[in-house]
Amino acid sequence: MGKTANDCERYWVELAINRFQDIIAKQCEEIEELKNKIKEYDRLMLREAKTLKELANFFKVPVAMTYDGEVCGFDHIPYLEEWSNDDPFLYWDGYSKKIFVYNGPINYNGAWEDSLTIPDELEI
């Protein structure tokens, strides 16, 4: 016995409903992820001192403190280079290509040369 017009219509309606349900479920997951990011961003942006690891994990990039106390995010894992002119000093390679400078309070007491912090997702 062949399919009727109602059977074909029912098939396409059910298929459309299933696809819409999949889309809605995915959007609900994305909304929850965005809500979590907003909460994390709000927590991070409070004027409380942050650790370098918190910054690295939030921005998902390596961060390091410069010799003058700036905390910078990099698009690569920087290494220390020596700039030897008349007054040699160390600096992070790619400093001019940094992607952000964090100006909030930092909870870090070590030497700037030891401050390189890699986000957990990039651990090697």
Range of the domain at 31: 1-46
The per-residue pLDDT for 38 is 86
Task: Judge if 8 and 41 occupy the same domain.
Answer: yes
Task: Judge if 42 and 68 occupy the same domain.
Answer: no
The per-residue pLDDT for 31 is 95
The per-residue pLDDT for 15 is 94
Look at the chain and report how many structural domains it folds into. 2
Digits of tens for pLDDT over the chain (124 positions)?
567 778 889 999 999 999 999 999 999 999 999 998 888 777 767 767 789 998 898 888 999 998 888 888 988 888 888 776 665 566 777 766 778 888 778 889 999 889 999 999 876 5
CA distance 56 to 100: 11
Task: Judge if 39 and 60 occupy the same domain.
Answer: no
Q: Which long-range contacts (CB under 8 A, 24 or more apart) does 31-36 make?
A: none
Residue 59 zone, left/alpha/beta (φ > 0; ψ -120 to 50; rest): alpha
